[in-house]
């Protein structure tokens, strides 16, 4: 009866009472079990009591319920040799030791357990067999963490029944189950709830520098942190550029942002300091999401999609193009042309997005944590210009919501200034009700008494649309009714006869018909005078007829007077093609008469002989140099013959009509003094017998000559200046102005020039600059114009295609920006977990020409300089030292010492643990000096600790050791949606298996028969040394691979491909891109059928004659890790048909079942794939087998 495992334990003696009790036990024959032989060493996994009773449990047994395992250890003794415990729950500064070893199987360090008084690992003792962990029972559900807004209630279980040890498997399944509770909305928002918790720490100082407290106003970290980090009570200092944790964790039920939120993603809720996914049903990790109708787990069938688009608007105005109906869900608005347009939103007549004439940046209203929020995203080009914008509203819409568009320019500046908006939303489908609708036929006659029939048809009660009568089944259908109608006497009426013949055969004529006025009196018809019938209902007497076009022919029309009134002239004719159109003539293109000979374009006229007449044959030069003179001319007598003039004898022409031999003429204004020159020195001439002037001599004459300047415009009408210069009269050479008479010089004047219109040209309007300073880009809106009458006429851009096009971008705001502080990226955190500090470089920079240039720090405001040291936290430490408050100083005066208790705490359980778990962190000091006011009499004080003592005989007391810190980095990971266990049916997609939560992830991709799948591995981070892998398999292929996966492409042979990834560490995995294509080889028959989904109907396929004796198959595939249930509903086979049977194959285990006859059956698979093969009469008669399948959880 030695102590368990105690090879060096102290000898403990039995008390007299214990000895007596044990002897009684032996004497009663109850000790036979002690005669059993012990287990052979290593033959079976021995029962290790430490796996069920940990160190804390052993301390409670030894020292009472308040005892805990010691949080530090002695370095000179193995931790498993003695049981060391904190006996006082409030005092962790010392440990009480009982000299008995810890139970075998007690955990004593990472991957180490106690065995026979030693802390060993499985590698040290190879005889140990692995012990797999098992779950304890569930705890009771906790109270709801919030009274509104969605709190959390949960229960836990532990893997300690037994704990996994010696390399055994951990427990499979969830250790935590949680549900949302009190989900009714609060009066405040979810952000307010988080902000309230942050603000409660405003009075708690922050020590960035030792013993120098600083106080901050703490706000939520929305937009700066997501996932688990956000739940670690992470708050942001208002006005400062850092954030840190203000406690261990936010209250359970605080909202958090998941890594990749979408409209239909599960909601993020903080639970025990982690951001966990809750489905729309309120269950943790249920993966239930809202469908487009806002129904949790729905399939989108309870609503109807409404779509539309918009590309209009007014310049410089917000125009409402969509007012969302109440209860609208999944609203999606996209504007693909946002350079000169942008979206705005008004909710209850208040703008929540844009509204001030400028585009908004990315925004979520009211916040990403709310259930009903609006998410707006703006996408920029590579030049940082607006490219497109996107708006999501999950809904249902509860308030009046208007979506507007603002456009900067009108339409005349081109298509680029128009918005390009598409939108869609969903409205609940109103459930229809049906009833019998009365349908009354028209009366059999319009007057004189008739009958009408009323019958009843099934119709939608809301829309009155007719539907199938089956929908009114169960509602009594009223009987058909007949009733009298139109019993009043008939009024007189017109009766028209047949039309007569047409007035013409083509080109449009008329024909007439007779009319009679009649009245029906019972069975008789009486003829009345025309005035008895109403004129407004009188039928037309005539109608157009003979409307077929007449044939085309050439026509001639005089085009002007005769070229001569006598002597034979020519009359021009206009030749054109036309045809008769009634009383009018219709002109036609010349091509319509091309098959006919064309008429001559001229005809003779004025054929009478013309009388002789005088004609001037020659005119001479003017006799004067300047001023008046005479010009000689020669006349002859001519007569026109056949259009030509022939000279005849002068006697035939009347002498009285003969033209003069000399005509007066004027050359120019003579200069001053010309009269004296003319009388003495001027040119003299005398008349000869022929009366021609003869010049004797001449003197130079100077006159003013006009000179035209250049035109001010090359086209479109300009002005040119006319001025005068002095020139020599005959040679026209420029002379000195003094030689001309200044008094006779004309005034300078302007004349119009180049009146022809200008060609089209490019103009542009400039948009907003991409930067307010430092050099940006400005987009130009180009358009083609034509200038005329002082205004611009906008033309299509094609009109300017021959002109050089201006640049579409221009630089703007080149002046340098004001200097500002710029902080670089921080260095690595000083602590691998928990709080630390990170350094960064803070410099004064100025942005100019697209580059930040460092300038003198004096140019930046000193008060705004960011700190160069900021707090940081990579992740919360799973184990950390927790220090209690310092004790009072050991002396009342002079120098003394203070001590404090330091414990190793686990974040998961918040209880003291073995100090081995915190050895990777520097342990805080437990002893420090202190100073009191000086003592009245100087004495020497020797600092010493004051350890607690105990009178227990078998205990010892020791203090915690000091250790040197070692830092080990740890990566913070975020859980996201996992495709594991999914059946993907899209024709293409991307599958991300890098951050899935499962080590063994299985999914499948399915397509219709006749298609195959091509899969490309975009990236891989699998560790092949740890035997991580990815497996692609189907019925015809199996491939397992790890090495050189990136860029690897595989093509399936069938239409369904299974993908399985096995990995050890989180954060590793592969990223796949898959798409489908037509198969090049057939592995199925024409009658084969493929079924996917959760449930469906199965009907036997029939075989065509061309297939002969080949069987037909139905393939059923469901999501991986689910099972298939097939239930036969009807089997209509004739008796004694032995060759007809159904064969069902379980593909995963390759086992086959055969079913004969008409006995209904129920079948369940062991995997997610099944094949149904039909034989015999099942292939020839459709409907001989009806069944259904469903996917079930294993």
Binding-site annotation, residues for Ca(2+): 33, 36
In the structure, how many helices (H) and strands (E) does the chain have? 5, 80
- Residue 456, classed as helix, strand or coil, is strand
Record the tokens describing residue 536, joined without a space: 């407004």
CA 498 – CA 493 distance, rounded (Å): 17
C-beta neighbour count of 652 within 10 angstroms: 12
**Binding site listing:** 33, 36
Q: Is the peptide bond before 197 cis (omega within 30 degrees of 0)?
A: no
Name the DSSP class of 818: P
How far separated are the first and last CA of the chain, in Å rounded? 49
How big is the chain by its Cα radius of gyration, in Å? 54
CA 554 – CA 596 distance, rounded (Å): 8
CA 985 – CA 534 distance, rounded (Å): 73
Taking alpha carbons only, the member of 1176, 1173, 1177 closest to residue 1146 is 1173
Tally of CA atoms within 13 A in the half-sphere of 176 that contains its CB: 16
Burial tier of 863 (Cβ tally within 10 Å: 0-12, 13-18, 19+): exposed
Taking alpha carbons only, the member of 72, 301, 25 closest to residue 923 is 72
Q: Do 1119 and 1180 contact (CB within 8 A), yes or no? A: no
CA 988 – CA 544 distance, rounded (Å): 65
DSSP element (H, E) containing 523: none
Taking alpha carbons only, the member of 935, 54, 763 closest to residue 409 is 763
Long-range contacts of residues 367-375, Cβ cutoff 8 Å, at least 24 apart: 367/189, 367/190, 367/191, 367/222, 368/222, 368/257, 368/261, 369/189, 369/190, 369/191, 369/194, 369/222, 369/255, 369/256, 369/257, 370/189, 370/190, 370/191, 371/267, 372/396, 372/398, 374/345, 375/263
Record the tokens describing residue 1143, joined without a space: 């064969």
Record the tokens describing residue 819, joined without a space: 């200097």
Q: Is the peptide bond before 103 cis (omega within 30 degrees of 0)?
A: no
Q: Cα-flanking dihedrals φ and ψ of residue 724, to 5°? A: -120, 140
Strand 983-984 to 1000-1006 pairing: parallel
Q: Do 258 and 265 contact (CB within 8 A), yes or no? A: yes
Record the tokens describing residue 1003, joined without a space: 């999914």
In Å, how far from its chain's centre is CA 203? Answer: 43
Give the start-end residues of each E strand in 734-823.
Answer: 749-753, 761-769, 776-788, 791-795, 809-812, 820-823
Those residues with Cβ within 8 angstroms of residue 1030's Cβ, 6 or more apart along the chain or in another chain: 1017, 1020, 1022, 1040, 1041, 1042, 1045, 1059, 1060, 1061, 1062, 1070
Strand 749-753 to 718-728 pairing: antiparallel
- Residue 33, classed as helix, strand or coil, is helix
Q: What is the DSSP string of 1070-1097?
A: EEEEEEEEE-SS--S-TT-EEEESSEEE
Name the DSSP class of 59: H
């Amino acid at each position: 009866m030695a102590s368990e495992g105690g090879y060096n334990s102290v000898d403990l003696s039995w008390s007299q009472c214990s000895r007596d009790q044990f002897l009684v036990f032996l004497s009663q024959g109850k000790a036979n079990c002690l005669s059993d032989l012990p287990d052979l060493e290593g033959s079976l996994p021995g029962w290790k009591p430490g796996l069920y009773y940990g160190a804390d449990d052993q301390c409670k047994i030894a020292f009472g319920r308040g005892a805990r395992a010691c949080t530090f250890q002695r370095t000179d003794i193995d931790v498993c040799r003695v049981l060391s415990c904190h006996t006082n729950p409030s005092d962790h500064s010392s440990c009480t030791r009982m000299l008995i070893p810890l139970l075998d199987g007690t955990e004593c360090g990472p991957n180490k357990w106690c065995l026979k008084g030693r802390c060993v690992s499985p590698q040290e003792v190879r005889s140990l067999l692995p012990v797999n962990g098992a779950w304890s029972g569930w705890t009771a559900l906790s109270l709801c963490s919030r009274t509104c807004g969605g709190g959390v209630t949960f229960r836990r279980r532990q893997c300690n029944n037994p704990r996994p040890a010696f390399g055994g498997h951990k427990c499979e399944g969830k250790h935590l189950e949680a549900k949302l509770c009190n989900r009714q909305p609060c009066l405040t928002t979810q952000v307010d709830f988080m902000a309230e918790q942050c603000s409660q720490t405003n009075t708690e100082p922050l020590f960035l520098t030792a013993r120098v407290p600083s106080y901050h106003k703490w706000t939520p970290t929305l937009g700066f942190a997501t996932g688990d980090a956000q739940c670690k009570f992470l708050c942001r200092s208002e006005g400062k550029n850092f954030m840190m944790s203000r406690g261990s964790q936010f209250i359970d039920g605080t909202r958090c942002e998941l890594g990749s939120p979408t409209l239909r993603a599960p909601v993020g809720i903080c639970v025990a300091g982690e951001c966990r996914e809750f489905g729309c049903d309120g269950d943790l990790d249920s993966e239930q999401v809202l469908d487009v109708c806002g129904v949790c787990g729905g399939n989108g069938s309870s609503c109807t999609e409404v779509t539309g688009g918009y590309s209009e608007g007014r310049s410089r105005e917000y125009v409402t193009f969509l007012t969302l109906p109440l209860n609208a869900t999944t609203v999606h608005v996209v504007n693909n042309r946002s350079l000169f347009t942008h979206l705005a939103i008004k909710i209850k007549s208040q703008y929540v997005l844009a509204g001030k004439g400028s585009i908004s940046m990315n925004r979520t209203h009211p916040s990403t944590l709310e259930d009903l929020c609006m998410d707006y995203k703006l996408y920029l080009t590579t030049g940082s210009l607006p490219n497109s914008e996107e708006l999501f509203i999950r809904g249902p819409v509860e308030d009046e919501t208007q979506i507007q568009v603002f456009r900067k320019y009108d339409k005349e500046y081109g298509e680029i200034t128009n918005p390009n908006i598409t939108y869609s939303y969903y409205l609940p489908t109103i459930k229809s009700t049906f009833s019998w609708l009365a349908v009354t036929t028209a009366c059999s006659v319009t007057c004189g008494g008739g009958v009408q029939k009323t019958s009843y048809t099934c119709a939608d009660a809301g829309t009155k649309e007719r539907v199938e009568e089956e929908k009114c089944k169960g509602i009594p259908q009223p009987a058909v009714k007949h009733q009298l109608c139109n019993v009043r006497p008939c009024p007189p009426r017109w009766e028209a006869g047949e039309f007569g013949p047409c007035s013409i055969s083509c080109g449009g004529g008329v024909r007439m018909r007779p009319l009679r006025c009649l009245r029906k009196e019972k069975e008789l018809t009486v003829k009345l005078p025309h005035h008895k019938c109403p004129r407004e209902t009188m039928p037309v007497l005539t109608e157009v007829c003979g409307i077929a076009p007449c044939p085309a022919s050439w026509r001639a029309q005089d085009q002007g007077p005769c070229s001569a009134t006598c002597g034979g002239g020519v009359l021009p004719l206009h030749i054109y093609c036309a045809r008769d159109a009634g009383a009018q003539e219709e002109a036609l293109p010349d091509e319509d008469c091309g098959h006919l000979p064309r008429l001559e374009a001229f005809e003779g006229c004025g054929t009478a002989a013309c009388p002789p007449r005088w004609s001037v044959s020659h005119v001479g030069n003017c006799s004067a140099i300047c001023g008046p003179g005479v010009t000689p001319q020669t006349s002859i007598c001519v007569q026109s013959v056949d259009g030509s003039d022939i000279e005849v004898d002068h006697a035939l022409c009347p002498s009285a009509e003969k033209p003069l031999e000399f005509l007066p003429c004027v050359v120019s204004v003579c200069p001053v003094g010309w009269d004296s020159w003319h009388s003495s020195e001027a040119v003299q001439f005398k008349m000869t017998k022929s009366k021609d002037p003869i010049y004797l001599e001449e003197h130079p004459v100077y006159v003013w000559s006009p000179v035209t300047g250049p035109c001010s415009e090359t086209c479109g009408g300009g002005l040119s200046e006319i001025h005068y210069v002095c020139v020599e009269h005959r040679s026209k050479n420029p002379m000195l102005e003094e030689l001309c008479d200044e008094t006779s010089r004309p005034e300078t004047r302007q004349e119009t020039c180049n009146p022809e219109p200008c060609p089209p040209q490019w103009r542009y309007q400039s948009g907003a600059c991409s930067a307010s300073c430092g050099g940006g880009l400005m987009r130009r809106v180009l358009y083609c114009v034509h200038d005329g009458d002082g205004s611009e006429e906008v033309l299509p851009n094609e009109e300017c295609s021959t002109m050089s096009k201006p640049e579409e971008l221009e630089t703007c705001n080149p002046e340098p920006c004001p200097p500002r502080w710029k902080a670089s990226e921080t260095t690595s955190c000083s602590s691998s977990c928990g709080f630390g500090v990170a350094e960064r470089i803070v410099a004064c920079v100025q942005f100019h020409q697209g580059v930040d240039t460092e300038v003198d720090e004096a140019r930046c405001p000193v008060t705004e300089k960011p700190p160069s040291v900021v707090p940081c936290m990579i992740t919360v430490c799973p184990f950390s030292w927790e220090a209690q408050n310092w004790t009072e100083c050991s002396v009342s005066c002079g120098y003394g010492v203070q001590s404090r208790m330091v414990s190793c705490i686990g974040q998961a359980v918040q209880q003291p643990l073995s100090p081995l778990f915190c050895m990777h962190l520097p342990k805080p000091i437990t002893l420090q000096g202190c100073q009191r006011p000086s003592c009245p009499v100087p004495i020497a004080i020797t600092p010493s600790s004051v350890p607690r003592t105990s009178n227990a005989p078998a205990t010892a007391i020791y203090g915690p050791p000091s250790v040197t810190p070692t830092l080990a980095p740890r990566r913070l990971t975020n859980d996201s949606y996992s495709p594991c266990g999914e059946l993907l049916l899209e024709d293409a997609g991307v599958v991300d298996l890098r951050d899935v939560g499962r080590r063994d992830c299985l999914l499948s991709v399915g397509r219709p028969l006749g298609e195959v799948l091509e899969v490309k591995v975009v990236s891989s981070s699998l560790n092949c040394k740890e035997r991580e892998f990815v497996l692609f398999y189907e019925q015809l292929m199996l491939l397992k691979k790890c090495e050189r996966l990136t860029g690897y492409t595989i093509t399936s042979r069938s239409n369904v491909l299974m993908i399985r990834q096995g990995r050890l560490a989180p954060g590793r995995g592969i990223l796949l891109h898959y798409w489908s294509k037509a198969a090049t080889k057939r592995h199925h028959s024409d009658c084969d059928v493929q079924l996917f989904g959760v449930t469906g109907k199965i009907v036997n396929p029939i075989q065509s004659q061309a297939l002969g004796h080949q069987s037909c198959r139905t393939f059923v595939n469901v999501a991986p890790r689910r099972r298939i249930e097939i239930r036969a509903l009807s089997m209509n086979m004739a008796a004694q048909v032995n060759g007809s049977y159904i064969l069902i194959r379980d593909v995963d285990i390759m086992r086959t079942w055969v079913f004969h006859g008409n006995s209904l059956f129920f079948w369940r698979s062991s995997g997610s794939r099944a094949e149904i093969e039909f034989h015999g009469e099942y292939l020839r008669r459709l409907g001989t087998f009806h069944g259904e399948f469903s996917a079930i959880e294993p």
